[in-house]
Structure 1
Amino acid sequence: MSEPKKPGGPMPLTSFTVGDFRYEVVRRLVAHPDYDTLLLATREPLGGGPVKLIVLKPIVMEHGREARHRALEEVTLSKTLRHPNIATVYGYVVHDEVPYIVMEHLRGCFLLTLMDAAWLVGRRLSPDFAAYVAGEVADALDYAHRCEDEDGNPLKLVHRAVGPMRIRLGENGRVKLTNFGAAYSELLGRIPTRRGLLRGDPAYIAPEVLRGFLKPEARQRDPLTPRKLDGRADIFSLGLVLLEMLLARYPLDPPDKLWEDLDERLPPEVRAERSTLLPLEALANRVLHFGPEEVEHAAKDLPAPLQKIVARALQQNPSDRYPSADDMRYDLRDFLHARPGRPYGAREAEAELSDILKEASDLRKLQAHPDVEEGVFPLPPDLTGREPGDAH
């Protein structure tokens, strides 16, 4: 498969056949250095049958046999996860020596796209919407954290990359957690993470992962993978996402306190899996400084129940957080059911999402705004190019 062109020009039509299916790339879905490349494609059975819209994710960070092994283990891990709030992984295919994960496509947008759209039109996501989305993600995480292999052994899975670009919002109000490619688990036969490689999203990382290089535990093989790493790390990440939805800004970038002093220095061999807007050391120090006082200050204008939820999820010590994602989900749904009027659910979430995206589709407000996710909004006339598959 030829590589997609850089943003700004149309991508040539690309099709290939592997096994019993013919794949045709429609367009880029995501092409950004901070996130996995995602391609929107169709999959058609060669023997006839319905054409399904799917997502292809190329595994390009490793090469050769290691890339195939990474693809296979992500598929193996993801196939154990059968939950309505987790995006389905169908398998993987190899074309031109590049493995591609084949995933479910949920029509809608990523949470990051919606938050950007709300900012563009001067709106905030409602507290109810934020609580609903976080509750659905917590439900998915609780299932993943309790998942077992075929022999009934706990996988001890940790997603490690919970963030706005891993949360998919459907046009029908559905919420799906995506991308378990950076997940930690005790799945037999997994390739160990390269020493010093920070898997997942550094912007939403839990502090205990970073403390591994400060006070390594006994027999800790990698300074960034604590031996006691568990699902409470994902609870911290989800707490940051929830707070970001509520504040309409990234919580660790407050204007009044930037934590420019770097109290701790990362070893020179430590690097992030993905590029980051801030230096990794700066991000690490902000996470490690984000204690109860900073959380309380950031959340001071939120509804009292949400203040308590955020404060508990963002405790620096994992033992002080919610013991499980299900406990966090319960508090979030309790908040929603206590609200006046009809309880907030999928129908209300769909209406709020649609309203914001419709307002943000005003071309005049989008002309100078580059989108991480492509195809959600119409492009300005001077940037519009014919997409593969368009009618002539």
Structure 2
Amino acid sequence: MPGPPDSRGPASQLVFESGGYSYSIQRALVSHPDYDTLLLSSRQLATGGPFKLVVLKPILLEHGREARTRALEEVRLSKSLGHRNIAPVLGTVAHNEVAYVVMDMANGRFLLSLMDAAVSVNQRLSHDLAAYVAAEVAEALDSAHRAVDEEGHPLHLVHRAVGPLLIRVGYDGRVQLTNFGAAYSELLGRIHTPPGLLRGDPAYIAPEILLGYCKPESGQRDLITPRKLDGRADVFSLGLVLLEMLLARYPLDPPDTVWMDVEKRFPPEVRGERSSPLPLETLANRVLHFGPEELQRATRALPESLQRILSRALRPNPDERYQTAGEMRDELRAFLKRPGQQQPFGAKEAKAEANAVFDQASDLEKLGAYPIVERGILPLPDDLSLEGPDELDD
């Protein structure tokens, strides 16, 4: 079983000092066109002392004031988000023509990596593990949705990008939600989204955000921000993540029905902040058509209690969903404490199941494919190595 990365010895490709700290970038943790580039780095005081593992998210200064301002917004927001299930943001640093958001490194793997590892050995995550992860993320979202600024004013924060590669499952079974860089909030002085840009992850986006483009409301803040946008949008996204964990496949691919009104339902000129596996207008159209009937067909083999939770989380109309992430958390935890359970499923059980999955996936003879995008969590056979050199040019 591979353990946490060791920050004491690996050779560094890029070393620089900023803000009183010395940073040694070890390697890419995640480098994928659908997600932010994340770099694993060690950090220590410039005067010496112990090393700490951190994650650096590059922000290219050549992208101008907007990119820098959004990085600073993410740091400011993090000061209002102190919660054990939310990965801390430590600040920003700069080197040459690149600025970095510095994030705490929780030893573990991304949920996407865990899901891919299970698929690679023909397994599904248990219902309990899926419910536990979703409950912990719902706990994080409930705290974020209730966050206030320095003056005590509600931020009305919406994460907008809840997905499997922004959820981290620690080696100890602890779950953290990461990366609020695409979040909507009423933070004073925040920069507004440019017209025609869909923030967040389009594969997990709530239908009310998409409808903001198709059927704008009177008084709507902007194209991506419906007048009543709130944390219920994140509840929908988390519902899709939970469904994906339980089905071991992305719920909207392939669809049960092919709809022919793509251009009519969603404007094709809108571009996503992140790339998506399907054309944006096609993916958005599937989200807009994913209603109770489609959900019932997808979940018919699941326990009735999980069907009820998913049915409420994935209602197209936010008024019919859980009104807070805390309500979803409570029902998921009730499932984990259902009659017949010797003890509630928690971090200890999550650790054991995740380790068992990766133990099997580490047997390279069983790996027919290797879709995982996170580096360093399993040894790679030579013919499946990720393309491109590991070195980072200074």
Give 2:379's aligned residue.
378
Segments of structure 1 that go 5 or more residues without pairing to the other structure are 1-10
> Could you tell me how far 1:258 is from its partner in structure 2?
4.1
- In the alignment, the residues of structure 1 paired with residue 256 and residue 213 of structure 2 have an alpha-carbon distance, to the nearest angstrom, of 28
Give 1:343's aligned residue.
344
Letter in 1 for 2:249: R
C-alpha contact 1:260 1:282 (8 A) present in aligned 2:
no
- In the alignment, the residues of structure 2 paired with residue 132 and residue 180 of structure 1 have an alpha-carbon distance, to the nearest angstrom, of 22
- In the alignment, the residues of structure 2 paired with residue 122 and residue 368 of structure 1 have an alpha-carbon distance, to the nearest angstrom, of 11
C-alpha contact 2:268 2:281 (8 A) present in aligned 1:
no
C-alpha contact 1:25 1:41 (8 A) present in aligned 2:
yes
Percentage of pairs with the same residue: 64
> Could you tell me how far 1:379 is from its partner in structure 2?
1.4
- In the alignment, the residues of structure 2 paired with residue 352 and residue 374 of structure 1 have an alpha-carbon distance, to the nearest angstrom, of 21
Residue 95 (structure 2) pairs with residue 109 (structure 1): no
Residue 288 (structure 2) pairs with residue 284 (structure 1): no
Q: 1:61 to 1:367 in 2, by over 3 A?
A: farther
C-alpha contact 2:61 2:99 (8 A) present in aligned 1:
no
- In the alignment, the residues of structure 2 paired with residue 312 and residue 42 of structure 1 have an alpha-carbon distance, to the nearest angstrom, of 43
Give 1:272's aligned residue.
272
C-alpha contact 2:85 2:137 (8 A) present in aligned 1:
yes
Give 1:78's aligned residue.
78
Letter in 2 for 1:231: G
Give 2:353's aligned residue.
352
- In the alignment, the residues of structure 1 paired with residue 77 and residue 255 of structure 2 have an alpha-carbon distance, to the nearest angstrom, of 40
Q: 1:367 to 1:171 in 2, by over 3 A?
A: same
> Could you tell me how far 1:26 is from its partner in structure 2?
0.6
Give 2:362's aligned residue.
361
Give 2:63's aligned residue.
63
Structure 1 moving runs of 4+ over 6 Å: 384-388
- In the alignment, the residues of structure 2 paired with residue 281 and residue 268 of structure 1 have an alpha-carbon distance, to the nearest angstrom, of 6
TM-score, normalising length from structure 2?
0.92
Letter in 1 for 2:214: L
C-alpha contact 1:367 1:380 (8 A) present in aligned 2:
no
Give 1:152's aligned residue.
152
C-alpha contact 2:263 2:281 (8 A) present in aligned 1:
no
Give 1:27's aligned residue.
27
Give 1:237's aligned residue.
237
Question: What is the correspondence of 1:127-138 to structure 2 with a 5 Å cutoff?
Answer: 127-138=127-138
> Could you tell me how far 1:269 is from its partner in structure 2?
3.6
Q: 1:279 to 1:255 in 2, by over 3 A?
A: closer
Residue 172 (structure 2) pairs with residue 182 (structure 1): no
> Could you tell me how far 1:214 is from its partner in structure 2?
2.2
Greater displacement, 246-255 / 190-199: 246-255
Letter in 2 for 1:377: L
> Could you tell me how far 1:63 is from its partner in structure 2?
1.5
SS at match of 2:76: helix
TM-score, normalising length from structure 1?
0.92
Letter in 2 for 1:123: Q
> Could you tell me how far 1:48 is from its partner in structure 2?
2.4
Letter in 2 for 1:347: K
C-alpha contact 2:235 2:322 (8 A) present in aligned 1:
yes
- In the alignment, the residues of structure 2 paired with residue 156 and residue 200 of structure 1 have an alpha-carbon distance, to the nearest angstrom, of 16
What's the CA shift string for 1:294-351, capped at 9, x where partnerless? Answer: 1111111111110000000000100000010000000000000015222111000000
Letter in 2 for 1:310: L
Paired residue total: 379
